[in-house]
Amino acid sequence: MHSILRKWSVWLLLALVSALPHLTAGAVSPTTADAMHLSAQGYFHYRLGRLMEVQGMSREALVQYRRAASFLQHGCELGRAEARVEMALGRFDEALRSVKEAEALCPDDLELLAVHAEILLARGEPTAAEALLIEPASHTGSPSRLTALLGQAQISRGRPEEAVATLSARAAQDTLSPEMAFLHARSLAVLGRSEESLSELQRAYRLEPSNGATVALLAQTLLHAERYVELVSLLEEVTRSLTARQDEFVSLGRAYAATGRYEEALTVLAEAEQTWGENERLLVARGSVELASGAEEIGMQTFERILVLEPDSVVALNFIAYHWAEQGTNLETALEYATRATELVPLNPRVRDTLGWTYLGLGRGLDAVRELEAAVDLGGSEPLIHEHLGDAYFHVGRTADATAAWLRALELEPQRPSTLQRIDRMGRGSASSD
C-alpha cells in the first residue's frame, strides 16, 4: 500500500511540473500590474521545490528553486534551500557559494549558519565547522541545531569526550529534540558507553520515528548487542509506515535471517523488490539469506544476477570470488573476478585479501603473499586477513613470519579457534621433526 502511495506522490509532482509551462505562460512581463502575479509564481515554484526536496528529488527541487529565483528577490530562505539541495547532490563548492551569497544578505540568520556548518562537515572540514559554531553555539538560547552540529564537528575531529560534554547538558535541556538525542548517542557510542547510547537512540526514535539515520543506528546497535527480538520488533514497526525506506526492509530481512526465520526474510525482501525493483542492495541481501538458509546454488545464482545488472559490482565480484576460493572451486574464474574487483577498488583491503586468498588456492604462494601484505598495509585489521597472510607465509616456507601473523590475528581476536588450530598444527609439526 505504501509503495503505491509513494509512487502516486511522485507522479503528482511530475504532473505539476509538466503543467508549469501552461500555468506560467505570459507571466514574465515585469510590469507593476504583474508584480503580485510574479510573486505568486515564484512562491509556487518554491513550494513545489520544497515538496520535491522532501521526497528526495534533489535535482528536480533545484530546478524549481532556480525558477523561483527568476521571479523572487534572492533572499535567506531561497538561498538556504538552494544550498541544501546542492549539498544533497554532492555539489559542495556550489552549495558553499550559495550559502555565502545568502549570508551576505542575511548575516544574522542562524539557520543559514547551520547550513554553512553542514556543508563544511560534508566537505570534510570539521575544524572550520567548529570554528564557525563555537561562539554562536555558546550563547544562552541559541538554536539546539548549532549545538548539535558543534558536537558532530567534535566527533569528526576525534574528540568524543568534548562532544559528550557539549551535547549532554543540551540533551538534558532539550528533552524533545530528537536530533540532540541522536548526536548525544553517537558520542556516547564512540566512548564505548553502549547502554547509555542505546537509551538515547531509543529516545530519539520515540521523538522522531521517521528519521532514517536514527533507525539505522538503532538497528545497528541492537544487532551488535545481539538483541534480535527488539531489533525485529523495531524494524517490523518501521516497515509498516508509509515513509519506510529500502534499507529498513533490508535490515529487517537480515534480522529475520539472524534468528533463523529465512522464509520471512525472503518475503520481506520480495516485498521491497516490488517497490524498488531489482537492484544491487536488495539482491545482495537476498543472496546472503539464501546462502545462510542452505540454498547455496540459488544464492550464488542471485549474486551472479547482480553482475548481469551491474557488471562492475565490487560487492558481487568480491563475494563470488571469495566464496569460490573458500570452496576451492572455479578458481580460475574466481581469480578473474577478484582481479576485476581489485582494479576497481585497489585500496580496499578486503578485496586485496580475496585476491590473495584466491592466489593461494591456486598454489601461487608468492602472489598470495604480495596481495595479502598489501591488504595489511592498506589497513586491513581483521583477524581473518592476518590469518590468511600467515597461511601464505607458511606456504612459501616463511614459518617465523607465519607464526607472527597468526599471533597478530589472536591479538585482534583472542581464542580465535581457526588460528589456534593453525598454531597448534605448526607446534606439533615442529615437535615431530625434532
| Confidence label for 156 from pLDDT (cuts 50, 70 and 90) | confident
Name the more confident of 32 and 399. 399
| Confidence label for 24 from pLDDT (cuts 50, 70 and 90) | very low
What average pLDDT score do residues 214-229 get?
Answer: 87
C-alpha span between 314 and 328 (Å, rounded): 21
The rounded mean pLDDT for the chain is 85
Examine the pLDDT at 331 and tell me if it is beyond 60: yes
Name the more confident of 10 and 200. 200
Instruction: Give, for 290, the enclosing helix (H) or strand (E).
Output: helix 280-292
pLDDT score for 244: 84
| Confidence label for 1 from pLDDT (cuts 50, 70 and 90) | very low
Which structural domains are found in the chain, ordered by start?
A: 1-19+35-124 (1.25.40.10), 342-434 (1.25.40.10)
pLDDT score for 434: 44
Q: Which of 381, 405, 380 is nearest to 391 (CA)?
A: 405
- HSE (side-chain half, CA atoms, 13 Å) at 229: 0
Examine the pLDDT at 198 and tell me if it is beyond 50: yes
**CB burial readout 200-216, b (16+ within 10 A) else e:** bbbbbbebbeebeebbe
pLDDT tens digit sequence for 277-325: 999 999 999 999 999 999 999 999 999 999 999 999 999 999 999 999 9
Based on the number of CB atoms within 10 Å of its own CB, is 59 exposed (0-12), middle (13-18) or buried (19 or more)?
exposed
Greatest mean pLDDT among 20-29, 32-41, 152-161: 152-161
pLDDT score for 17: 46
Report DSSP state, residue 330: S
Q: Can you say whether the dihedral through the CA atoms of 77, 79, 82, 85 is positive or negative?
A: negative
Q: Which three cell numbers stand for residue 146?
A: 548549532
pLDDT tens digit sequence for 356-366: 999 999 999 99
What average pLDDT score do residues 252-266 get?
Answer: 93
